[in-house]
Amino acid sequence: MDLIEALLGVRGELLHQGSFAFAAGPARLVVAGLLIAAGLFVLVRYTRAVPGRLRLPLTAIRAAALALVAAILLHPVLVLEAIAPMESFVAVLVDDSRSMAIADQPGADSGPPAERGTRAGWARSNLQTDGELMVRLGERFKTRLFSFARDARRLDDPAQLDFSGSLTRIEAGLATVAEEMAGVPLSGVVLISDGAQTGGGDELTERLLELRARGIAVHPIALGRELWQRDVELREVRVAQRVLEGSALRAELLLEHSGATGETVEVAVLDGGQLIASERVELGPPGQPTAVSLTITPREAGPRALRFRVTPLEGEQLAENNHRVALVEVTGSAEKILYFEGEPRHEFSFLRRAVASDEALQLVSMVRLAENRFSRLSVDSGDELQDGFPSTREELFAYRALVLGSIEASFFTYEQMRMLLDFVGKRGGGMLFLGGGNAFGEGGYAGTPVDEVVPVVLPAPGSQGDFFTVMKVQPTALGRRHPVVQLTAEQGGEDLWQRLPALSTRNQVTRLKPGASSLLVGTGDGDDREQIVLAHQRYGRGRSVAMTAQDSWKWQMSMPLEDQTHELFWRQVLRWLVSDVPDRVEVQPSSSRVQVGSIVELLGRVRDLQFEEINDARVVALVQSPSGELSEVDLEWSVSEDGLYRGSMAVAEEGMHRVELRARRGGEEVGNAIAFVDAAELDEEFFRSGRRSELLAQIAEETGGRVHEPGEVADLVERLTYSQDGVTVREERDLWNAPILYLALLGLLVGEWTLRRTGGLS
């Protein structure tokens, strides 16, 4: 109750809605007239008896008091437009999601024991026929009850609420109310929710605009607490969706907490119940997410549901938001990489040997033995690379990555240069440039089409003489956290980098291209300028990497036989090079982890051998459910984007669904792709599950409603009553009994008395 309401007996906002009037009937007017006449007579007499100095103020006070009494006698009222009783409707929309089961709602002491103290408990007790909300609404409105979680529905009985929805989509609830209540006088929507929205955002904005246009105000009753006293939440997990078997991948985690600044928690990753990584993390200031980077290696091939877990704090109130599951597909097939080397050298044989035992990589190699003489190694057939370096896009684009050794730019034709550019930019392949006497600027690449792809700045041809430097290699700050240069289990691995022998380069490379990052740098004896040793950048759809050292084999020759640094380094670099390289045909589900009963959108991409998008393919997804049931889903060209096809599949069973996309064109197979969708009970509802006041306020503001606390049910009902939405009647609210009138009268009388006493009058 604010001050205006205390003084006037009505809420301030009603003063703006209504108009003032006097409601006194003829009898009361006569009585009032007589009283005023008598009053005036007394006033005149009284004025004469007062000495000159006090006459004017005392007369004024008495006149004012007389006027006030007269006004009260005339029965002042506030005339309002009120909702006609039982003529209008109010829709009550209740959040039926799992976050409502969180026990942070004081006052919810009735109802089933399991729901006591919960947001759900408050909702259920208020929605019973004898609940405060329903009783007050029932005095004036016809009510209609709706529930929403992922979808919305009309309820006949609050007992139908089970608070088990795995998603909160307020927009779905509002849409259903707007649709079902169209055509009836609707005074407003009461939204009972914590606002812990887990669904989409744009749709909600659209829905609010629609309600506003129709003049339907939404009045949220905000449940729950905004912040926990003690809680740590695994807010986000970012990890690649596909990885080669045996490869390490980096997972980026964001932790948020309340009440645990400076405390240490353990973050762990489990694959099939087995711990594959863990790290202890100190939590930062509240409201500031703590970022954690973990290097993990899934155990075996296939779709792997990786569970990321944060140990609960002591006395933590909500442990359900401490873990998340991410689906990663671990592929076992060998990725084909072309290594083209311009001269026989040790780097060639050592690099090949380093990855020879890696079954996930096939390093097809071609080395120029002499002018126009090549040697081919690890080719699939006698035809492969028979005519030298690929001269067509089809031939080159069949590889997923390309390693370019010490080969001068003039070796390639202009068309081959363009192909190399497109290999990364358009095909999305990985490209690695190795250091050497004929590489980088020294190989004449500056200013050629390939220059664009290289992640480092190339010196102009002829701008320098023969260059050679020996350098000690160290990871950069970024490199220390990057999985590609994690060569040891020890944190940071500084000791290992100190132990590794120095490498040499014949390429002067000291500047990165804008947007590129450096992972390894080298410093030579007496040379202050840092050489870039390993750098990378995204280029178009692909990635390019520069490794400027010419003799990484020294890591193999100079370290003990059992040391695996050299092997590990090249395995990681080459696996990184082929990671995320697109296939000609791809399939991507809108979500790889869903609730049973969900509809999953399938996005397919189809390209030809030159990686040109195809729009006229017949694209079908063959979905195999966990029980082995097969179904077909047609995907149609999206029209909005070349090569993009859309379709949707219904997920009816719990477990892993295999989706195989098959694309055909003109009776010929273009290709196929496989993806997985895991249907499981989701815990999304427990993330960001504190009350989202800002969202509820936005909903109220954009529709003309107002947010209410659970204790403000009476206010809410009154607000609805005078909302003027629906069938209205004229209603007068008495003002004659407003406390302010009697306080004013009292004030005048006390004023007069004081004046008289100080003036020496009796």
Sites of contact with other proteins (CB under 8 A) = 342-346, 348-350, 352-353, 367-371, 373, 375, 377, 437, 468, 470, 504, 506, 550-551, 553-554, 556-561
CB-nearer residue toward other proteins: 213 or 561: 561
> In the complex, what is the shortest distance from the CB of residue 295 to other proteins, in angstroms, rounded to a whole number?
27
Instruction: For residue 113, give both structure tokens.
Output: 């024991």
- Tokens for 612? 């040109």
Closest CB to other proteins among residues 49, 561: 561
Half-sphere exposure of 217 (CA within 13 A, CB side): 21
Q: Answer for the pair 658, 624: CB distance below 8 angstroms, yes or no.
A: yes
- Residue-level length of the chain: 762
Give dist(CA 695, CA 45) in Å, integer.
66
- CA torsion 164-169-172-173 (nearest 10°) is 60
The gap between the terminal CA atoms of the chain, to the nearest Å, is 42
Quickly count: other Cβ atoms within 10 Å of residue 278's Cβ: 14
Residue placing its CB nearer to other proteins in the complex, 59 or 558 = 558
Cβ 555 to other proteins shortest distance, Å: 10
Cβ closest to other proteins, residue 197 vs residue 362: 362
SS3 660: strand
**Least distance (Å) between residue 406 CB and other proteins:** 8
Return d(Cα 666, Cα 119) in angstroms, integer: 59
Distances in Å between the Cα of 762 and the Cα atoms of 39, 43, 98, 536 are 20, 17, 75, 99
Q: How many CA atoms lie within 13 A of 111 on its CB side?
A: 25
Closest CB to other proteins among residues 342, 690: 342
Q: Which amino acid is it at 428?
A: G
Cα separation, 357 vs 246, whole angstroms? 12
Beta bridge partner(s), residue 303? 329
Residue placing its CB nearer to other proteins in the complex, 250 or 352: 352
Between strands 728-734 and 668-679, the pairing is unpaired
CB of 346 to other proteins, least distance (A): 5
User: Closest approach of Cβ 556 to other proteins, in Å?
Assistant: 5
- DSSP per-residue string spanning 590-611: S-SEE-TT-EEEEEEEEB-TT-
- In whole angstroms, the minimum distance from the beta carbon of 652 to other proteins comes to 52
- Of 63 and 377, nearer to other proteins (C-beta) is 377
Q: How far is the CB of 457 from other proteins (least distance, A)?
A: 22
Burial degree of 529 (CB within 10 A; 0-12, 13-18, 19+): exposed
Distances in Å between the Cα of 589 and the Cα atoms of 121, 387, 651 are 37, 41, 12
Residue 704 DSSP code: T
Alpha carbons 625 and 622: distance in angstroms, whole number:
10
* CB contact burial 586-612 (16+ within 10 A = b; e otherwise): bbbbeebbbbeebebebbbbbbbeebe
User: Do the Cβ atoms of 383 and 406 come closer than 8 Å?
Assistant: no
Nearer to other proteins, 515 or 560 (CB): 560
Q: How far apart are CA 646 and CA 640, in angstroms?
A: 11
The strand pair at 618-624 and 655-665 is best described as antiparallel
Q: Tokens 């664009």 correspond to what residue?
A: 452
Q: How far is the CB of 518 from other proteins (least distance, A)?
A: 22
Judge contact between 294 and 310, C-beta under 8 A: no
**Do 254 and 236 form a contact (C-beta atoms < 8 A)?**
yes
Q: How far is the CB of 578 from other proteins (least distance, A)?
A: 23
375 versus 410: smaller Cβ distance to other proteins: 375
Of 297 and 504, which has the nearer Cβ to other proteins? 504
CA–CA distance, 516 with 725 (Å, rounded to integer): 59
Smallest separation, CB 550 to other proteins (Å): 5
- List the strands of the sheet with 517-524, edge to edge: 373-377, 361-370, 335-341, 401-404, 430-434, 542-547, 531-539, 517-524, 469-475, 503-505
At closest approach, how far in Å is the CB of 440 from other proteins? Answer: 14
**Residue 539 Cβ, how far from other proteins at the closest point, in Å?**
28
Residue 528 has which token pair?
Answer: 């202050």
Paired sense of beta strands 141-148 and 152-155, if any: antiparallel
Q: How far apart are CA 602 and CA 649, in angstroms?
A: 7
Helical segments of 470-617, H only:
477-481, 494-499, 554-557, 565-578
The distance of closest approach from Cβ of residue 565 to other proteins in the complex, given in angstroms and rounded to an integer, is 12
- For the bound state, the minimum distance from the C-beta of residue 369 to other proteins, rounded and expressed in Å, comes to 6
Residue 389 CB, shortest distance to other proteins, in Å, is 14
Backbone angles phi, psi at 100, to 5 degrees: -70, -15
| Token code pair at residue 401 | 């990555």
Return the closest-CA partner of residue 228 out of 258, 197, 256. 258
Locate tokens 């947001």: which residue?
A: 119
Positive or negative torsion for Cα 589, 594, 600, 601? negative
Residue with smaller CB distance to other proteins, 517 or 558: 558
CB 339 → other proteins: shortest distance, Å? 12
CB of 384 to other proteins, least distance (A): 17
Nearer to other proteins, 13 or 408 (CB): 408
Nearer to other proteins, 79 or 502 (CB): 502
Smallest distance, other proteins to C-beta of residue 561, A: 5
CB closer to other proteins out of 518 and 548: 548
Closer of 555 and 686 to other proteins (Cβ):
555
Residue 507 or 625: the one with the smaller Cβ distance to other proteins is 507
Kindly tell me which of 28 and 346 has the beta carbon lying closer to other proteins: 346
Instruction: Give whichever of 506 and 719 is closer to other proteins, judged by the CB atom.
Output: 506
How is residue 542 written in tokens? 């692909």
Secondary structure class of 555 (helix, strand, coil): helix
